[in-house]
Amino acid sequence: MKTETNRRPAVSPSRRSDRFLEAMAPFDRVVLASHINPDPDALASMLGIRAVLEHRRPRLEVTLTLDGMLARAENRAMVELLEIPLVPIEDAPRGDGVALVMVDSQPHTGRRASESITPVAVLDHHQTGGNLDGVAFLDIRPDMGATSTMVAGYLMEQSVPLTPRLATALFYGIESESIGYPREAGPADDGALVWLFPRADKDLMARIRNPRLPVSYFATAQHALANAFLYGPLLVCWCGQVPQPDIIAELADFFIRCDQAHWVVAIGRFQDQIRLSLRTDSLGTNSGEVLRAVVDGLGTAGGHDKRAGGAIPLSDPSPEAIDELLRLIRRRLFEQLQVAESPGRRLLPASPTIQVP
Ligand SMILES: [Mn+2]
């Protein structure tokens, strides 16, 4: 009698989480990785996938990794308060029997420090156009507002018991990803938020949302306010040398609420890179594509409808070279956004200072 034990079943399991677990079956270790400088969605997604794996494969070893740094104070608070154990990506186990699972990111999109290993599984909600050759399991759903929403679905499907910390992480992962107006979230995200909220630790959540901020945060905000310029509907702010890279995105989110601006580009220097964040106040334009065109040949960029980020390595860090680069970026922005060339005007006059009262 012919055995068929080595053949895949004629009908694959229909639930995504079952197919994900099937892809993990040959492995005894799993390394979870995300994009560089992980955000709450990336961190929560790793935590959630670990919970799915630990529930269904208790003897599996699962490692969560950190690529780059925890930049935002909120992200550092999340990792500390929820006790998320992160191993630097370069120290993670590798080799035979180890499956790399990538969440909230895709291979070869410029969002990672190294691409030396092809993942076995990729879960993401971005339209980043990664190179997915050789990836056994794919779950990429651009209609989802957060990878955490997809992972919450896996937890529900697999009846994984939800700890308050995991619920807090996933709730914050979705919330922080869908903040602002118009919202980039849909019914699935809202359904997940409704499921998670009663189970989350609201005190921990409040502490994560409101971490203490260093003075350098306010200094960068001051620099950006003093160096914000309007070119028609485009607001460009120069943040200067920044203490951590995510503050550029934070300031872009701050300025897009300005009633004079429909587009915001925040630009700053972090180490040997120029970082950019692009925001728009309406849906229907692909910010990621706009920013990719702006940095074409200079660096990398990616993003969603309303929000995009990019980086340009500085080959020449002299002030003249940086000025030249900024002029080029501005010209390309005008072109991409069809904004007429104009000299630009300062958003704010110089701020008067008073004596220490
Ligand atoms: Mn995300």
Determine the distance separating the centroid of ligand 1 and the alpha carbon of 126, expressed in angstroms.
7
Determine the distance separating the centroid of ligand 1 and the alpha carbon of 317, expressed in angstroms.
32
Evaluate whether residue 10 is within a structural domain.
no
pLDDT for residue 14: 87
- Domain co-membership, 299 together with 270: yes
pLDDT for residue 10: 60
Three-state secondary-structure class, residue 100: strand
**Which stretches of the chain score pLDDT less than 70?**
1-11
pLDDT for residue 107: 93
pLDDT for residue 184: 87
Q: What is the CATH number of the domain that holds 250?
A: 3.10.310.40
pLDDT for residue 137: 98
- Domain co-membership, 205 together with 224: no
Q: Which domain holds residue 178?
A: 16-209
Total domains present in the chain? 2
pLDDT for residue 3: 45
Determine the distance separating the centroid of ligand 1 and the alpha carbon of 272, expressed in angstroms.
25
Contacts of 179 (CB under 8 A, 6+ apart): 253
Q: What is the CATH number of the domain that holds 180?
A: 3.90.1640.10
- Domain co-membership, 135 together with 230: no
User: In angstroms, how far is CA 70 from the centroid of its own chain?
Assistant: 12
Tokens 């502490």 belong to 207
Backbone angles phi, psi at 57, to 5 degrees: -135, 70
Determine the distance separating the centroid of ligand 1 and the alpha carbon of 44, expressed in angstroms.
10
- Domain co-membership, 97 together with 237: no
pLDDT for residue 2: 43
- Domain co-membership, 197 together with 278: no
- Domain co-membership, 247 together with 169: no
- Domain co-membership, 182 together with 292: no
pLDDT for residue 112: 84
Determine the distance separating the centroid of ligand 1 and the alpha carbon of 169, expressed in angstroms.
13
- Cβ contact 145:189 at 8 Å: yes
Evaluate whether residue 135 is within a structural domain.
yes
pLDDT for residue 11: 67
pLDDT for residue 77: 98
Evaluate whether residue 199 is within a structural domain.
yes
